[in-house]
Amino acid sequence: MASDYAPPVDRLLTFGDCRDSIADWPDYLKALELGPEHIPDLIRMAADEE
């Protein structure tokens, strides 16, 4: 659930499934300004079964 993740990590869930259009794959790091400080939430999101 998006509310479980702090910004800007929560915004990743608004991108939807991008696997169908690899050519249009977003630059998530740039778009969301993700950095090393977001790694714990990103790992938690990757392991989240929802």
In which residue are the tokens 């910004």 written? 7
Is residue 12 within 8 Å of 32, Cβ to Cβ? yes
Residue-wise pLDDT for 11-50, tens only, equals 998 887 777 777 888 889 999 999 999 999 999 999 998 7
pLDDT at 3: 58
Structurally, the chain folds into a number of domains equal to 1
Which domain covers residue 7, as residue numbers?
Answer: 2-17+24-47
pLDDT score at 16: 79
